[in-house]
Structure 1
Amino acid sequence: MAQANTVEQAQRLAAVRQDLAARGLYGFVVPRADEHQGEYVPPHAERLAWLTGFTGSAGLAIVTADRAAVFVDGRYTLQVTVEVDGDLYEHRHLSDTPPAEWLAQAASAARQPDGGPVRIGFDPWLHTPDGIARLRDACAKVGAEVVAIDGENPIDRAWQDRPAAPSSPVMRHPLEFAGESAEAKRQRIALSLRDDGLEAAVLTAPESLAWLLNLRGSDVPFTPLVLGFAILHADATLTLFLDPAKEVDGLRDYLGQAVTVLPPAALAGALAELSGKRVRLDQASCAVWIAERLTAAGATVALGADPCALPRACKNATELSGIKAAHQRDGVALCRFLAWLDAEAASGTITELAAADHLEALRREGAYFRDLSFPSIVGSGPHGAIVHYRADADSDRLLGQGELFLVDSGAQYLDGTTDVTRTLAIGTPTAEMIRRYTQVLKGHVALSQARFPQGTTGSQLDVLARQYLWADGVDYDHGTGHGVGAYLSVHEGPQRISKVPSTIALKAGMVLSNEPGYYKPGAFGIRIENLIAVTAMEPPPSGAERPMMFFETLTLAPYDRRLIDPSLLRADERDWINAYHRRVHQQIVPALAGRDALWLDWACAPL
């Protein structure tokens, strides 16, 4: 979707306001979401980007008759100022100004022409019950109402050239990669429903459909998902609601007799048939529309965690083996890229987009490659300080001498998903760059070395990665680690490493990122990221009184030795980095030749 200019943004905003006025609505809430609440949405669901110009993966806009605002988190505070016209929309931080508070304040100052309550609309397919409850509670305090709209979304009405909904064919995910049959998974999850006193679960997260049924698709950019819904019953039977255009020959035989396939239009009737039953809804991905349909039908709605989320996060032995193999091939591509960059960057002719294209081309040569796992973040100089910067034809810049270059990228392979960030010195770095890079690396190493008892959450470990930056009074405004799927989403829950409190214990088989950073606006950005797997210590340490866990590093690519100040490292930190570099060299150099092999010899030399 082409970026809208200021005039187009103003016209689109005016069209939506006109539609709201005709409906008797003072305002409307526009999330960056589709019916499944996923991070990546198909082009026809990019309503927030179409309306405001904001292209980040998380955000929300509120449009009222006289005000409008776009809300983003710390990853996008710089990006939103570039993409969204500040004369049309206020730029707000989600934490500093929660949308519910902003909306209540705006509604309290408004008056309806007929003297009735101020009404704010929302699309019931694009919000979760919890999210709408926060808005309703805040607005009720000032006498305003938050109501589901009737009929078509006002943005969809105004969007004249809106893309069609995706209808890509379903793909089977072979057992050699999945490691467990769909039937076994259904039986396992159905047992968990029975244990929780549930008679059914409505599955609304596409990742759960993909994992549970060993299916993949291409409905969503960068993530191999097929969009649809399912109802899993406690007897392990399942009804899949899928666009018939996505069916392929043999799909129903592949799924088995216990799985019924129906068109999406049949979902409403199937929800009504759950009358009197206790039904699990995923509080993170369930649409208000579904929750209200179930309640109206007389079902007991049990909001909670998706029953597939935790089992999906704990990779089996086959998945872990595949993920390691994918990282081996990905490491070869990345090391070839880093060698090329070191040789060519001094010419002053390499741009951000050229670097991203070259890295993608190298990855495409690897076996089982299917796609990138997200749009590559390639930020040189000040662009590196924009956490989720995305280069385009207008912003693309040359890699400059004396600057840092941040490369955050990943790929989707049939046997695994990768995500890695390296920050590189182009020319001679400053003392400040070296100090900050070394502090970030020390935090990265501290998390890599962590040993922790079973039951530990990611939020309990987050401080390990920040401690050396905190000592200098600096920090980074994003989480330290997110979960990663197995040929699924590069951002997977429920596991994470973050300041945000979590009740989810880290379990064996979970894959997460380890990515502390530092960002100096207008100057440079630093982020170092490896993927790590939670692993049980077997045997446990001598004298251990409880089961212990550690992280196995999966990513294979050297750090930039030119940015490391050895005088800031403890002996154990230096030893860990040297040991990691030895491992990278041993596993990657056999696949390299000539200049690439010589470069890796240098890059992995001991500190």
Structure 2
Amino acid sequence: MFQRFESHASPAQHVPRLAALRAEMAARKLDGFIVPRADAHQSEYVADRDARLGWLTGFTGSAGFAIVTPDLAGVFIDGRYRVQVKSEIDLGHFTPVNWPETKPAAWLRKALPEGGMIGFDPWLHTRREIRELEAGLAGSEIALVPVDTNPVDAIWQDQPEAPIGSVRLWPDALAGETAAEKRQRIGAKLRDGKANAAVLTLPDSISWLLNIRGADVPKNPVVLSFAIIEANGRVAVFADPRKFSPEIRSALGNEVTILPPEALTPALTNLTGPVVVDPGTAPEQVFRLIESMKTEIAEGADPVILPKATKNAYEIAGMRSAHLRDGVAVTELLCWLDAQAPRIADEPLTEIDICRKLEELRVAQGILDVSFDTILGSGPNGAINHYHVTEATDRRIMPGDIVLVDSGGQYNDGTTDITRTLPMGEFDQAIRRPYTRVLQGMIAVSRAKFPRGVAGAHIDALARAPLWMEGMDYDHGTGHGVGAGLSVHEGPVRISRISEIPLQTGMILSNEPGYYREGEYGIRIENLIVVEPAESPDGRDMLGFETLTLAPIDKRLIDPALMSSAEIEWFDAYHAWVRTELEPLVSDATRGWLEAATSPLLG
């Protein structure tokens, strides 16, 4: 199976590690050290070797960081993880800090009022991050000190080795463009900007550029690597050469060179400027190495990131195909869960049981891996935004529980991500109101039409408005970018209050408003959508969304009296499409269930 359910170390087991880090800090004459949830590529999902934050603190979320001083150890988490963190860290030694409400510089000023030396690993922080921290500390006596070697690595005796997953080719028929054509396109972009080269630090950018996929990080088929692309389209890749078979090297051609990781530093110090480096994604150390030779840096966005985000017709076709098969698996699961509901009082069913059933159904549809660990929360666990079940937390499903299933798959032609919320038997009718408001937000985004130039921040409000009317909200973004056979969370575009990047045709995003009542239940409904041109009666350049996800949305939790006729029309049309597409593909046992599940809301 793809998902691991083993329990992590108990919170108390991390206390000796904290003491060891403090001893190492003292030996290095540091008054503090920053431990990010990041690797040198700013990956959301990191290899076991780079899971320093989790190893030190016990916190397993996908975003956050810790700052350790001789007296305090703050674990900074955003709204997604404020419930989860309390169960994972030793609250007697680590202190949760609400972030970004509390900025790290403000916290440090209080923690070290007399000043001090704060260490950081310059490979694990971006230049923008360090600049913001320096600006926040301006006028204090606190100094940021880059370290040559990471003190966490020094005390982590059994730290895993760096991964060496094998590289495979991504077919040109799915990419819609050869790697050579992509290299020339990006090279031309550099020439237009009068740059000689660009440093690429994001593994998904490099994997997309070269039409390759990897196996270094579970669930994200990227090749952990750095690269330098020249204005002539030639590329040097810095990664363990053992990842690349002779067949892969031959396919990449003579204009792509594979060099070992240790060759990166001399390569950076021998560049001819101007060199494009992204301050928002590239490590601080990359800037320092280039600047050490007085080479001109042209700060700017990773030149691959937007071309990767704007999928072409071939990539979108692959995503549609993957969603069709994934829709079969999810629909089979929903039918199976409905069949289990009457029996759960007598025949135990747990969260892990459901996860394993879903993986079994996806395997039958050709899944290569899950695209992230399934978030399957029943009852109070559903209120934890990014809850991941373990053997220790596995909860038995009880009659009346609300079950939230957020899951996805990596297929040989695309990536999926879908969330459905459903009741197990008779349920508290009070949930129908917030569930309907969440659904209305999802429908509002799905139906949206907007002029070119509108960003995710504008769309985000559409999803929240029905909840806001009830005095409700949720503490996560409404949507994230999704890769085509790549990372399920893909930058730079988002549907979020803070995203100012204009939406463009071909961008694929999630649409997932939610509502969470701590200790009781969680609600989230998610489809993936792709930006497409939209008609305008007066000829304006308008955009809208096409929905990719295929699976029924539970009707039992809806209060139709709260919905407009236009919303009901969209809902019924969506279900009619789901039924038409999936009916020939699901099992005989599921076909009748699907017909009932997708019948008109008021029928």
TM over 0.5: yes
- The range that moved more, 591-600 or 384-393, is 591-600
Distance, in Å, in 2 between the alignment partners of 1:93 and 1:196 is: 40
Partner residue, 2:365: 366
Partner residue, 2:460: 462
Say what the alpha-carbon RMSD is for the aligned residues: 1.2
CA deviation vs aligned residue, 1:196-215 (integer Å, no higher than 9, x gap): 22111000000011000001
Partner residue, 1:443: 441
Consecutive unaligned residues of structure 1, counting only runs of 5 or more, are 111-117
Distance, in Å, in 2 between the alignment partners of 1:7 and 1:452 is: 52
Partner residue, 1:115: none
Consecutive unaligned residues of structure 2, counting only runs of 5 or more, are 1-5
User: What amino acid is aligned across from residue 89 of structure 2 in structure 1?
Assistant: V
Report if aligned partners of 1:36, 1:286 keep a CA contact under 8 Å in 2: yes
Distance, in Å, in 1 between the alignment partners of 2:456 and 2:572 is: 26
Distance, in Å, in 2 between the alignment partners of 1:190 and 1:358 is: 46
Distance, in Å, in 1 between the alignment partners of 2:135 and 2:449 is: 43
Partner residue, 1:400: 398
Partner residue, 2:255: 258
Is the counterpart of residue 573 in structure 1 residue 571 in structure 2? Answer: no
User: What amino acid is aligned across from residue 215 of structure 2 in structure 1?
Assistant: S
Partner residue, 2:13: 8
Partner residue, 1:190: 187
User: What amino acid is aligned across from residue 427 of structure 2 in structure 1?
Assistant: P
Which of 387, 390, 405 is the matching residue for 2:385? Answer: 387
Is the counterpart of residue 224 in structure 1 residue 221 in structure 2? Answer: yes
Which of 56, 60, 64 is the matching residue for 1:59? Answer: 64
Distance, in Å, in 2 between the alignment partners of 1:362 and 1:182 is: 34
Query: Aligned to 2:307, what secondary structure does the other structure show?
Result: helix
How do residues 44-443 of structure 1 correspond to structure 2 at under 5 angstroms? 44-109=49-114, 118-150=116-148, 152-275=149-272, 277-348=273-344, 349-367=348-366, 369-443=367-441
User: What amino acid is aligned across from residue 411 of structure 2 in structure 1?
Assistant: Y
Shift in Å, 1:533: 0.5
Partner residue, 2:483: 485
Partner residue, 2:519: 522
Partner residue, 2:597: 603
CA deviation vs aligned residue, 1:279-316 (integer Å, no higher than 9, x gap): 11122321111110000011122222111000000111
User: What amino acid is aligned across from residue 209 of structure 1 in structure 2?
Assistant: I
Query: Aligned to 1:297, what secondary structure does the other structure show?
Result: coil
Distance, in Å, in 1 between the alignment partners of 2:325 and 2:73 is: 47
Distance, in Å, in 1 between the alignment partners of 2:258 and 2:80 is: 40
Distance, in Å, in 2 between the alignment partners of 1:387 and 1:162 is: 29
CA deviation vs aligned residue, 1:339-397 (integer Å, no higher than 9, x gap): 00000122222111100110011001113x21000000000001110000011111111
Report if aligned partners of 1:172, 1:216 keep a CA contact under 8 Å in 2: yes
TM-score under structure 2 normalisation?
A: 0.97
Shift in Å, 1:132: 1.4
- The range that moved more, 378-387 or 168-177, is 168-177
Partner residue, 1:113: none
Shift in Å, 1:192: 1.1
Is the counterpart of residue 513 in structure 1 residue 510 in structure 2? Answer: yes
Report if aligned partners of 2:127, 2:280 keep a CA contact under 8 Å in 1: no
Distance, in Å, in 2 between the alignment partners of 1:398 and 1:588 is: 30
Query: Aligned to 1:456, what secondary structure does the other structure show?
Result: coil
Partner residue, 1:589: 583
CA deviation vs aligned residue, 1:119-166 (integer Å, no higher than 9, x gap): 11011111111111222233342211111113x311111111111110
How do residues 498-577 of structure 1 correspond to structure 2 at under 5 angstroms? 498-500=496-498, 502-537=499-534, 540-544=535-539, 546-577=540-571
TM-score under structure 1 normalisation?
A: 0.96
User: What amino acid is aligned across from residue 377 of structure 2 in structure 1?
Assistant: G
Report if aligned partners of 1:38, 1:285 keep a CA contact under 8 Å in 2: no
Distance, in Å, in 2 between the alignment partners of 1:548 and 1:525 is: 35
Distance, in Å, in 2 between the alignment partners of 1:583 and 1:599 is: 15
Distance, in Å, in 1 between the alignment partners of 2:356 and 2:137 is: 48
CA deviation vs aligned residue, 1:167-195 (integer Å, no higher than 9, x gap): 11111111122111001001111111112
Shift in Å, 1:429: 2.3
Query: Aligned to 1:124, what secondary structure does the other structure show?
Result: coil
Partner residue, 1:114: none
Query: Aligned to 1:250, what secondary structure does the other structure show?
Result: helix
Query: Aligned to 1:509, what secondary structure does the other structure show?
Result: coil
Distance, in Å, in 2 between the alignment partners of 1:528 and 1:283 is: 34
Distance, in Å, in 2 between the alignment partners of 1:284 and 1:366 is: 38
Distance, in Å, in 2 between the alignment partners of 1:95 and 1:143 is: 23
Report percent identity of matched pairs: 50
Regions of 4+ moved over 4 Å:
none
Report if aligned partners of 1:170, 1:216 keep a CA contact under 8 Å in 2: yes
User: What amino acid is aligned across from residue 599 of structure 1 in structure 2?
Assistant: W
Query: Aligned to 1:270, what secondary structure does the other structure show?
Result: helix
CA deviation vs aligned residue, 1:435-486 (integer Å, no higher than 9, x gap): 1100100111011000111111111111111111100111001110100000
Query: Aligned to 2:368, what secondary structure does the other structure show?
Result: strand
**For residues 303 and 346 of structure 1, do their structure 2 counterparts lie closer, same or farther at Cα, with a shift above 3 Å needed?**
farther
Distance, in Å, in 2 between the alignment partners of 1:499 and 1:429 is: 33
User: What amino acid is aligned across from residue 39 of structure 1 in structure 2?
Assistant: E
Report if aligned partners of 1:104, 1:138 keep a CA contact under 8 Å in 2: no
Shift in Å, 1:90: 1.0
Shift in Å, 1:570: 0.6
Is the counterpart of residue 472 in structure 1 residue 477 in structure 2? Answer: no
Query: Aligned to 1:417, what secondary structure does the other structure show?
Result: coil
Query: Aligned to 1:232, what secondary structure does the other structure show?
Result: strand
Shift in Å, 1:109: 4.1
User: What amino acid is aligned across from residue 510 of structure 1 in structure 2?
Assistant: M
Shift in Å, 1:426: 1.1
- The range that moved more, 284-293 or 297-306, is 297-306
Distance, in Å, in 2 between the alignment partners of 1:486 and 1:159 is: 36
User: What amino acid is aligned across from residue 12 of structure 1 in structure 2?
Assistant: R
Query: Aligned to 1:522, what secondary structure does the other structure show?
Result: coil
Report if aligned partners of 2:10, 2:88 keep a CA contact under 8 Å in 1: no
Distance, in Å, in 1 between the alignment partners of 2:88 and 2:136 is: 29
Distance, in Å, in 2 between the alignment partners of 1:580 and 1:7 is: 49
Query: Aligned to 1:397, what secondary structure does the other structure show?
Result: coil
Query: Aligned to 1:562, what secondary structure does the other structure show?
Result: coil
